Amino acid sequence: MPTILTPEQVKEKYGPMFCKSLITMVDEKNGCAQVVEKCSSTGPKEWDIVNRRRTKGIITDIRDEGAIVMDLVIGDRPLNFGPASTELGAQGIYSLRVEGDRVHTKWRGIAGASVGIGACLPQADDVIETIYPDDFKMGGAFSAETEIVTHKRVRLVIGVDDTDTPQQGASWVLTMQLGRECPYGKFLNHKIIQLNPKAPNKTTNCCSTAVSFAATEEEVPKIIEFAKEFIRKGSYSDDTVMTTFVGLKVPEDLKKWSWDAKSVLFTIDDAVAAAERNGVEIHYVTGNKGTIGAVAAIGCFDLGLKAAGIPEDFE
Protein backbone atom coordinates (compact mmCIF):
# COMPACT_ATOMS: atom_id res chain seq x y z
CA MET A 1 0.00 0.00 0.00
CA PRO A 2 1.27 3.52 -0.80
CA THR A 3 2.07 5.85 2.07
CA ILE A 4 0.52 9.34 2.07
CA LEU A 5 2.26 12.06 4.08
CA THR A 6 1.48 15.73 4.67
CA PRO A 7 4.32 18.29 4.57
CA GLU A 8 4.40 18.31 8.36
CA GLN A 9 4.70 14.53 8.48
CA VAL A 10 7.48 14.58 5.87
CA LYS A 11 9.38 17.13 7.93
CA GLU A 12 8.97 15.05 11.06
CA LYS A 13 10.20 11.91 9.28
CA TYR A 14 13.15 13.31 7.32
CA GLY A 15 13.97 16.58 9.08
CA PRO A 16 13.57 20.12 7.72
CA MET A 17 14.70 20.65 4.11
CA PHE A 18 15.11 23.56 1.72
CA CYS A 19 12.21 24.05 -0.72
CA LYS A 20 10.16 27.07 0.31
CA SER A 21 7.14 26.73 -2.00
CA LEU A 22 5.84 24.68 -4.92
CA ILE A 23 3.05 26.49 -6.75
CA THR A 24 1.23 24.76 -9.61
CA MET A 25 -0.85 26.75 -12.09
CA VAL A 26 -2.86 25.16 -14.89
CA ASP A 27 -4.35 26.41 -18.14
CA GLU A 28 -6.61 23.55 -19.17
CA LYS A 29 -7.88 25.40 -22.24
CA ASN A 30 -4.36 25.36 -23.70
CA GLY A 31 -3.32 22.02 -22.20
CA CYS A 32 -0.42 23.49 -20.25
CA ALA A 33 0.74 24.19 -16.71
CA GLN A 34 3.44 26.08 -14.88
CA VAL A 35 5.27 25.22 -11.67
CA VAL A 36 7.04 27.92 -9.68
CA GLU A 37 9.47 26.47 -7.14
CA LYS A 38 11.27 28.64 -4.62
CA CYS A 39 14.50 27.17 -3.26
CA SER A 40 16.66 28.30 -0.35
CA SER A 41 19.96 28.27 -2.25
CA THR A 42 21.44 28.80 -5.70
CA GLY A 43 23.31 25.49 -5.99
CA PRO A 44 20.36 23.09 -5.77
CA LYS A 45 18.32 25.39 -7.99
CA GLU A 46 20.93 25.38 -10.77
CA TRP A 47 21.46 21.63 -10.49
CA ASP A 48 17.72 20.94 -10.67
CA ILE A 49 17.28 23.15 -13.73
CA VAL A 50 20.10 21.44 -15.64
CA ASN A 51 18.99 17.93 -14.69
CA ARG A 52 15.31 18.47 -15.38
CA ARG A 53 16.18 20.01 -18.74
CA ARG A 54 18.22 16.90 -19.54
CA THR A 55 15.45 14.47 -18.63
CA LYS A 56 12.71 16.54 -20.36
CA GLY A 57 9.55 14.58 -19.52
CA ILE A 58 6.59 16.97 -19.59
CA ILE A 59 8.82 20.07 -19.36
CA THR A 60 8.71 22.36 -22.41
CA ASP A 61 10.86 25.09 -20.83
CA ILE A 62 12.66 25.57 -17.52
CA ARG A 63 14.46 28.72 -16.38
CA ASP A 64 15.71 30.72 -13.42
CA GLU A 65 13.55 33.76 -12.62
CA GLY A 66 14.71 34.02 -9.04
CA ALA A 67 12.60 30.90 -8.56
CA ILE A 68 12.65 27.83 -10.80
CA VAL A 69 9.91 28.28 -13.39
CA MET A 70 8.85 25.21 -15.37
CA ASP A 71 6.44 25.28 -18.32
CA LEU A 72 4.73 21.91 -18.66
CA VAL A 73 2.20 20.06 -20.76
CA ILE A 74 -0.75 18.46 -19.00
CA GLY A 75 -0.43 14.70 -19.46
CA ASP A 76 2.36 12.12 -19.47
CA ARG A 77 5.72 11.93 -21.25
CA PRO A 78 8.65 9.56 -20.64
CA LEU A 79 11.80 10.80 -18.95
CA ASN A 80 15.11 10.74 -20.80
CA PHE A 81 17.16 8.71 -18.33
CA GLY A 82 19.95 7.43 -20.59
CA PRO A 83 23.33 5.93 -19.55
CA ALA A 84 24.92 9.38 -19.15
CA SER A 85 22.06 10.56 -16.96
CA THR A 86 22.31 7.43 -14.84
CA GLU A 87 25.99 8.11 -14.21
CA LEU A 88 25.41 11.77 -13.45
CA GLY A 89 22.32 11.34 -11.34
CA ALA A 90 19.15 13.02 -12.51
CA GLN A 91 15.70 14.25 -11.64
CA GLY A 92 12.56 14.84 -13.66
CA ILE A 93 8.80 15.26 -13.78
CA TYR A 94 6.90 12.96 -16.13
CA SER A 95 3.19 13.37 -15.39
CA LEU A 96 0.67 16.06 -14.47
CA ARG A 97 -3.05 15.62 -14.14
CA VAL A 98 -5.82 17.79 -12.72
CA GLU A 99 -8.30 16.21 -10.32
CA GLY A 100 -10.92 18.70 -9.12
CA ASP A 101 -9.18 21.42 -7.14
CA ARG A 102 -5.93 19.45 -6.91
CA VAL A 103 -2.98 18.83 -9.22
CA HIS A 104 -1.05 15.56 -9.15
CA THR A 105 2.55 15.58 -10.43
CA LYS A 106 4.79 12.51 -10.67
CA TRP A 107 8.54 12.81 -10.14
CA ARG A 108 11.56 10.53 -10.41
CA GLY A 109 15.02 11.04 -8.95
CA ILE A 110 18.26 9.08 -8.99
CA ALA A 111 20.81 9.03 -6.15
CA GLY A 112 21.03 12.40 -4.35
CA ALA A 113 18.26 13.77 -6.55
CA SER A 114 15.89 11.24 -5.01
CA VAL A 115 16.13 13.18 -1.74
CA GLY A 116 14.87 16.26 -3.57
CA ILE A 117 11.67 14.58 -4.74
CA GLY A 118 11.28 12.47 -1.60
CA ALA A 119 12.01 14.85 1.26
CA CYS A 120 12.57 18.40 -0.01
CA LEU A 121 9.73 19.19 -2.44
CA PRO A 122 7.13 17.37 -0.30
CA GLN A 123 7.72 19.86 2.56
CA ALA A 124 7.10 22.95 0.43
CA ASP A 125 4.37 25.48 0.98
CA ASP A 126 1.27 24.79 -1.19
CA VAL A 127 1.86 21.02 -1.13
CA ILE A 128 -1.16 19.15 0.23
CA GLU A 129 0.35 15.67 0.45
CA THR A 130 2.86 13.32 -1.14
CA ILE A 131 2.17 9.73 -2.15
CA TYR A 132 5.08 7.28 -1.72
CA PRO A 133 5.18 3.76 -3.21
CA ASP A 134 5.49 0.96 -0.67
CA ASP A 135 9.05 0.19 -1.82
CA PHE A 136 10.24 3.80 -1.52
CA LYS A 137 13.93 4.32 -0.76
CA MET A 138 16.00 7.45 -1.39
CA GLY A 139 19.60 8.60 -1.32
CA GLY A 140 22.74 6.61 -2.15
CA ALA A 141 22.32 4.67 -5.39
CA PHE A 142 18.53 4.40 -5.15
CA SER A 143 16.05 5.49 -7.80
CA ALA A 144 12.84 6.85 -6.30
CA GLU A 145 9.43 8.05 -7.43
CA THR A 146 6.85 10.22 -5.69
CA GLU A 147 3.48 11.74 -6.53
CA ILE A 148 3.14 15.27 -5.15
CA VAL A 149 -0.32 16.78 -4.75
CA THR A 150 -0.69 20.58 -4.76
CA HIS A 151 -3.54 23.06 -4.90
CA LYS A 152 -4.89 23.79 -8.39
CA ARG A 153 -4.22 27.42 -9.22
CA VAL A 154 -4.53 29.65 -12.28
CA ARG A 155 -2.52 32.72 -13.24
CA LEU A 156 -4.16 36.14 -13.01
CA VAL A 157 -2.35 39.10 -14.60
CA ILE A 158 -3.44 42.64 -13.71
CA GLY A 159 -2.32 45.58 -15.85
CA VAL A 160 -2.55 49.19 -14.69
CA ASP A 161 -1.88 52.57 -16.27
CA ASP A 162 -2.34 56.25 -15.48
CA THR A 163 -2.48 56.38 -11.67
CA ASP A 164 -0.09 59.30 -11.29
CA THR A 165 0.33 62.94 -12.30
CA PRO A 166 3.50 64.93 -13.12
CA GLN A 167 3.49 65.99 -9.47
CA GLN A 168 2.38 62.87 -7.57
CA GLY A 169 2.49 59.11 -7.58
CA ALA A 170 4.17 56.25 -9.43
CA SER A 171 2.10 53.45 -10.96
CA TRP A 172 4.82 50.82 -10.50
CA VAL A 173 4.98 51.54 -6.77
CA LEU A 174 1.20 51.27 -6.41
CA THR A 175 1.08 47.89 -8.15
CA MET A 176 4.00 46.58 -6.11
CA GLN A 177 2.09 47.55 -2.98
CA LEU A 178 -1.00 45.85 -4.42
CA GLY A 179 0.91 42.61 -4.93
CA ARG A 180 2.34 42.64 -1.44
CA GLU A 181 -0.86 43.64 0.36
CA CYS A 182 -3.51 41.62 -1.48
CA PRO A 183 -4.93 39.09 1.02
CA TYR A 184 -5.94 36.60 -1.68
CA GLY A 185 -3.86 34.35 -3.91
CA LYS A 186 -0.07 34.31 -4.06
CA PHE A 187 1.80 37.30 -5.47
CA LEU A 188 4.15 36.08 -8.20
CA ASN A 189 5.64 38.83 -10.31
CA HIS A 190 5.78 42.55 -11.02
CA LYS A 191 6.64 44.17 -14.36
CA ILE A 192 7.26 47.73 -15.57
CA ILE A 193 6.30 48.18 -19.21
CA GLN A 194 7.94 50.92 -21.23
CA LEU A 195 5.50 52.46 -23.71
CA ASN A 196 5.87 54.86 -26.63
CA PRO A 197 7.95 57.81 -25.37
CA LYS A 198 6.34 60.00 -28.06
CA ALA A 199 2.84 59.54 -26.62
CA PRO A 200 1.23 62.98 -26.22
CA ASN A 201 -0.54 62.13 -22.94
CA LYS A 202 2.03 60.82 -20.48
CA THR A 203 3.91 61.48 -17.30
CA THR A 204 7.71 61.55 -17.46
CA ASN A 205 8.59 57.93 -18.25
CA CYS A 206 5.48 56.78 -20.14
CA CYS A 207 5.33 53.39 -18.44
CA SER A 208 2.50 51.11 -17.44
CA THR A 209 2.84 48.26 -14.98
CA ALA A 210 1.45 44.83 -14.16
CA VAL A 211 1.41 42.17 -11.46
CA SER A 212 0.59 38.47 -11.52
CA PHE A 213 -0.95 36.14 -8.95
CA ALA A 214 -1.34 32.40 -8.59
CA ALA A 215 -4.90 31.94 -7.41
CA THR A 216 -7.61 29.38 -6.98
CA GLU A 217 -10.52 29.95 -9.32
CA GLU A 218 -12.61 31.13 -6.36
CA GLU A 219 -9.98 33.73 -5.45
CA VAL A 220 -9.81 35.35 -8.91
CA PRO A 221 -12.90 37.61 -8.55
CA LYS A 222 -11.86 38.50 -5.00
CA ILE A 223 -8.42 39.64 -6.17
CA ILE A 224 -9.94 41.67 -9.00
CA GLU A 225 -12.36 43.48 -6.69
CA PHE A 226 -9.65 44.10 -4.10
CA ALA A 227 -7.32 45.43 -6.81
CA LYS A 228 -9.89 47.83 -8.26
CA GLU A 229 -10.60 49.37 -4.87
CA PHE A 230 -6.91 49.42 -3.89
CA ILE A 231 -5.95 51.20 -7.11
CA ARG A 232 -8.88 53.60 -6.89
CA LYS A 233 -7.82 54.66 -3.39
CA GLY A 234 -4.15 54.97 -4.38
CA SER A 235 -4.59 56.78 -7.69
CA TYR A 236 -3.92 60.48 -8.16
CA SER A 237 -5.36 60.48 -11.68
CA ASP A 238 -8.82 60.80 -13.21
CA ASP A 239 -7.82 58.46 -16.06
CA THR A 240 -6.86 55.21 -14.30
CA VAL A 241 -7.55 51.92 -16.08
CA MET A 242 -7.01 48.34 -14.92
CA THR A 243 -6.99 45.23 -17.11
CA THR A 244 -7.19 41.55 -16.20
CA PHE A 245 -6.24 38.31 -17.95
CA VAL A 246 -6.50 34.73 -16.69
CA GLY A 247 -4.24 32.12 -18.27
CA LEU A 248 -0.67 31.04 -18.86
CA LYS A 249 -0.51 31.85 -22.59
CA VAL A 250 -0.90 35.47 -23.64
CA PRO A 251 -2.18 35.34 -27.25
CA GLU A 252 0.42 36.11 -29.92
CA ASP A 253 -1.87 38.73 -31.45
CA LEU A 254 -1.88 40.66 -28.16
CA LYS A 255 1.90 40.31 -27.76
CA LYS A 256 2.43 41.78 -31.22
CA TRP A 257 -0.04 44.62 -30.67
CA SER A 258 1.55 45.46 -27.32
CA TRP A 259 5.07 45.42 -28.78
CA ASP A 260 3.86 47.73 -31.54
CA ALA A 261 2.42 50.05 -28.88
CA LYS A 262 5.99 50.94 -27.96
CA SER A 263 6.44 52.71 -31.31
CA VAL A 264 2.93 53.23 -32.74
CA LEU A 265 0.48 55.82 -31.42
CA PHE A 266 -2.65 53.70 -31.01
CA THR A 267 -6.06 55.02 -30.02
CA ILE A 268 -8.20 53.95 -27.09
CA ASP A 269 -10.54 52.23 -29.58
CA ASP A 270 -7.56 50.26 -30.92
CA ALA A 271 -6.76 49.08 -27.39
CA VAL A 272 -10.36 48.10 -26.69
CA ALA A 273 -10.47 46.06 -29.91
CA ALA A 274 -7.17 44.32 -29.04
CA ALA A 275 -8.50 43.47 -25.59
CA GLU A 276 -11.78 42.09 -26.94
CA ARG A 277 -9.95 39.89 -29.47
CA ASN A 278 -7.68 38.40 -26.85
CA GLY A 279 -9.72 37.77 -23.72
CA VAL A 280 -8.59 40.82 -21.74
CA GLU A 281 -11.13 42.52 -19.49
CA ILE A 282 -10.95 46.31 -19.11
CA HIS A 283 -11.93 47.96 -15.83
CA TYR A 284 -12.34 51.75 -15.95
CA VAL A 285 -11.30 52.68 -12.42
CA THR A 286 -11.38 56.51 -12.58
CA GLY A 287 -11.39 57.17 -16.35
CA ASN A 288 -10.32 55.72 -19.71
CA LYS A 289 -7.10 57.38 -20.91
CA GLY A 290 -4.97 54.64 -19.36
CA THR A 291 -6.57 51.99 -21.59
CA ILE A 292 -3.72 51.68 -24.10
CA GLY A 293 -1.04 51.21 -21.46
CA ALA A 294 -3.12 48.87 -19.32
CA VAL A 295 -3.87 46.58 -22.29
CA ALA A 296 -0.22 46.68 -23.43
CA ALA A 297 0.86 45.74 -19.91
CA ILE A 298 -0.88 42.37 -20.32
CA GLY A 299 0.57 41.80 -23.79
CA CYS A 300 4.13 42.61 -22.70
CA PHE A 301 4.04 40.70 -19.42
CA ASP A 302 5.82 37.61 -20.73
CA LEU A 303 8.33 39.39 -23.00
CA GLY A 304 11.16 39.40 -20.48
CA LEU A 305 13.56 42.34 -20.84
CA LYS A 306 11.67 43.54 -23.91
CA ALA A 307 8.82 44.58 -21.61
CA ALA A 308 11.07 47.22 -20.06
CA GLY A 309 12.47 48.62 -23.31
CA ILE A 310 11.61 50.00 -26.71
CA PRO A 311 12.46 48.41 -30.08
CA GLU A 312 15.68 50.43 -30.46
CA ASP A 313 17.04 48.80 -27.30
CA PHE A 314 17.11 45.40 -29.01
CA GLU A 315 18.39 46.21 -32.49
**pTM for the whole structure:** 0.94
Annotated domain spans of the chain: 3-151, 154-314
Q: CA 11 from chain center: how many Å?
A: 26
Which residues are CB-neighbours of 231 under 8 A, at least 6 positions away? 160, 163, 174, 175, 178, 240, 242, 285
CATH code: domain 154-314 is 3.30.70.2200
Q: What is the pLDDT along the chain (315 residues), one digit of tens a residue?
A: 899 999 999 999 999 999 999 999 999 999 999 999 999 999 999 999 999 998 999 999 999 999 999 999 999 999 987 655 555 558 899 999 999 999 999 999 887 788 899 999 999 999 999 999 998 888 777 788 999 999 999 999 999 999 986 677 788 999 999 999 999 999 999 999 999 887 766 555 688 999 999 999 999 999 999 999 999 999 999 999 999 999 999 999 999 999 999 999 999 999 999 999 999 999 999 999 999 999 999 999 999 999 999 999 998
Number of Cβ within 10 Å of residue 29's Cβ equals 11
The rounded distance, in Å, linking the Cα atoms of 116 and 55 is 15
Alpha-carbon 235 to chain mean position = 26
